[in-house]
Amino acid sequence: MDAARLDEVPLFSGLSRRERKAVAQHADEVSLAAETRIVEEGRPAHEVFVITSGTADVFEGGDKIRELGPGEVIGEIGVLETHQRTATVIATSPIEAIVMNGPELRAMANSLPDVHARLQALIAERPH
């Protein structure tokens, strides 16, 4: 993926060019259709998504608990904490997202502690 695009995403803004390049080596971009189940509650967690455009709804136990949009992260709790999805997320419009695989994301804790700290802060803000 193009490292310059990462500067437009709040999670990665403020990283140095070298850091953005390192993140880009571990990230891909995906396009998801509206109504796609991005993650499903109770399933194993293998990747984290960062929405760059589009919207999604988050459901816990079948109840809608929040809406997500550009710049928001999907799946960080499951990948970094519980190893299992804590909610179901369904696209409500076409979505463009950056996706990072869990093992690589966890490995970045040492090489990119700033990104890891931002993800940990997101986790601390959310109930789980």
Average pLDDT, the chain: 89
Burial environment of residue 50 by CB neighbours within 10 A (0 to 12, 13 to 18, 19 or more):
buried
In a domain, 101, yes or no: yes
pTM listed for this prediction: 0.88
Place of tokens 């995403």: 9
Q: Is the pLDDT of residue 22 over 90?
A: no
Confidence label for 114 from pLDDT (cuts 50, 70 and 90): confident
Domain that holds residue 65: 27-125
Does residue 128 register a pLDDT over 60?
Answer: no
Query: 6 lies in a domain?
Result: no
Give me the torsion for CA of 30, 32, 37, 42, rounded to 10°.
10
With respect to residue 46, please indicate whether it lies within any of the assigned structural domains: yes
Total domain count, the chain: 1
Cβ count within 10 A of residue 89:
24
Return the bridge partners of 73, or none: 50
108 — pLDDT class (breaks 50, 70, 90)? confident
Contact 10, 71 (CB under 8 A): yes
Residue 63, strand partner residues:
60
pLDDT at position 102 is 84
For residue 59, what pLDDT band results from cuts at 50, 70 and 90? very high
**65 in any annotated domain:** yes
Residue 126 has a pLDDT of: 64
pLDDT value, residue 12? 82
Q: Please name the helix (run of DSSP H) or strand (run of DSSP E) that holds residue 104, with its range, or none.
A: helix 102-111
Classify residue 8: in a domain, yes or no.
Answer: no
Residues near 6 by Cβ (< 8 Å), separated by ≥ 6?
Answer: 12, 15, 20, 23, 24, 27, 98
In sequence order, the 6+-apart residues with CB closer than 8 A to the CB of 99 are 27, 28, 29, 30, 47, 48, 49, 50
Higher pLDDT, 21 or 112: 21
Task: Provide the CATH number for the domain around residue 100.
Answer: 2.60.120.10
Output phi, psi for 59, to 5 deg. -120, 135
Is residue 52 assigned to a domain?
A: yes
